[in-house]
């Protein structure tokens, strides 16, 4: 590998490290935004989001998806159930199985929040080509796999 | 965006973004991915350094920008001064940050890092560097460069 190539690789790596730091700032602001506007944590918003996007879920499925212990999840769900954003419902086929559903209040809240994502998406579309956008999405997915503890 | 907390729907027409923006549903998923990445990172910070993610952010902020007034920190992190005071009290007990009086004006208090804070910062930067190298190593060169460009654009858009 040539010296120039090596140098270029290092430059991109430096830019990447800087991006990670900036992304951390963006993430923190995003958390603050959700907390201030919706009075819930970003994890709680994600749980609501997952159910809105994929339909009702078992507690166990949610725990696995977000990699949280069931005991921790139980208290999180208790909290957003008290806020009337989600509700526990028993399965009709097997009464022992409990599903989590989003209430209409929860749905409304998510719809409002998703406007923010729509704005970001529109700005992304106008400022990057599809190849970069794909790399952005797939790169983050790959990164998430690589830094995942399990 | 600096319009966090404000109505973000103003700059673009929602109807136009709803119809025919194929980026939207993928962005929805990606927000979860980003949160996941940082949730894991926070767990790592907690288990490795026994401090909270916010404490790590504070250390990094002070190291990068030099000693800071409490007010400047409160503004940057969007925390009330009263809340910040108790956070800093705790960080002082952990011996990662310290309050110092300004030499020019003894009444003004700055926040600085301790030796221990500096060491944690150093170790964490090394960790980030390793992670970054690992990701670069696992991706095709052109793809990686596009990924970085995409991230830069996203960060820019999101912090406007």
Contact A128 B60 (CB under 8 A): no
Q: Which of A17, A120, A135 sits opposite B27 (nearest CB)?
A: A120
- Contact yes or no for B96/B117 (Cβ under 8 A): yes
Nearest CA in chain A to B148: A16
Q: Is residue A10 within 8 angstroms of chain B, CB to CB?
A: no
Nearest CA in chain B to A23: B155
Residues of A in contact with B76 (CB under 8 A): none
Q: Which of B78, B139, B151 sits opposite A136 (nearest CB)?
A: B151
Exposure letters B99-133 (e unless 16+ CB within 10 A, then b): eeeeeeeeeeebbebbeebeebbeebeeebeebbe
pLDDT at A149 over 80: no
Q: Is residue A11 within 8 angstroms of chain B, CB to CB?
A: no
Residues of A in contact with B129 (CB under 8 A): 17
Q: Is residue A2 within 8 angstroms of chain B, CB to CB?
A: no
Q: What is the mean pLDDT of chain A?
A: 92
CA distance A134 to chain B (A): 8
Check residue A150 and give its pLDDT.
60
Element (H, E) at B68: strand B68-69
Check residue A54 and give its pLDDT.
92
Contact A19 B155 (CB under 8 A): yes
Element (H, E) at A15: helix A3-38
- Contact yes or no for B116/B109 (Cβ under 8 A): no
Average pLDDT for A23-40: 92
Q: Which two tokens stand for residue A21?
A: 């730091």
Nearest CA in chain B to A35: B5
Residue range A79-113, pLDDT digits in tens: 999 999 999 999 888 888 889 999 999 999 999 99
Check residue B124 and give its pLDDT.
95
Residue range A52-78, pLDDT digits in tens: 999 999 999 999 988 888 899 999 999
Q: Which of B24, B57, B135 sits opposite A117 (nearest CB)?
A: B24
ipTM beyond 0.90?
Answer: no
Residue range A6-16, pLDDT digits in tens: 888 999 999 99
Number of CB atoms found within 10 A of residue B68's CB: 18
Q: How many residues does chain A have?
A: 150
- Residues 103..122 of A with a Cβ closer than 8 Å to B: which? 114-122
Q: What is the mean pLDDT of chain B?
A: 87
Those residues of chain B that have pLDDT short of 50 are 1-19
Average pLDDT for A35-50: 94
Q: Which of A53, A141, A142 sits opposite B28 (nearest CB)?
A: A53
């Amino acid at each position: 590998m040539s010296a120039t190539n090596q140098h270029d690789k290092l430059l991109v790596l430096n830019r990447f490290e800087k991006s990670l730091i900036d992304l951390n700032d963006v993430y923190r602001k995003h958390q603050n935004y959700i907390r201030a506007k919706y009075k819930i944590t970003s994890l709680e918003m994600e749980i609501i989001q997952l159910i809105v996007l994929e339909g009702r879920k078992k507690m166990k499925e949610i725990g696995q998806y977000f990699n949280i212990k069931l005991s921790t999840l139980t208290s999180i769900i208790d909290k957003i159930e008290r806020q009337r954003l989600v509700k526990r419902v028993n399965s009709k086929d097997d009464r022992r199985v409990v599903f989590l559903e989003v209430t209409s209040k929860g749905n409304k809240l998510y719809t409002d929040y998703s406007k923010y994502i729509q704005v970001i998406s529109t700005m992304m579309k106008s400022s990057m080509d599809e190849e970069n956008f794909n790399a952005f999405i797939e790169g983050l997915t790959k990164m998430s796999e690589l830094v995942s503890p399990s | 965006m600096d319009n966090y907390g404000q109505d973000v729907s103003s700059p673009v027409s929602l109807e136009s973004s709803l119809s025919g923006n194929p980026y939207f549903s993928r962005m929805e998923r990606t927000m979860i991915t980003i949160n996941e990445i940082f949730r894991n990172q926070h767990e790592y910070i907690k288990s490795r350094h026994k401090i909270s993610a916010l404490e790590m952010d504070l250390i990094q902020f002070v190291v990068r920008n030099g000693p800071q007034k409490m007010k400047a920190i409160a503004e940057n992190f969007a925390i009330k001064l009263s809340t910040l005071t108790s956070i800093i009290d705790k960080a002082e007990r952990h011996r990662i940050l310290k309050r110092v009086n300004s030499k020019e004006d003894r009444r003004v208090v700055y926040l600085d890092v301790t030796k221990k804070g500096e060491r944690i910062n150093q170790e964490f930067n090394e960790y980030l560097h390793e992670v970054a190298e690992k990701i670069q190593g696992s991706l095709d060169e052109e793809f990686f460069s596009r990924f970085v460009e995409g991230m830069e654009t996203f960060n820019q858009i999101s912090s406007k």
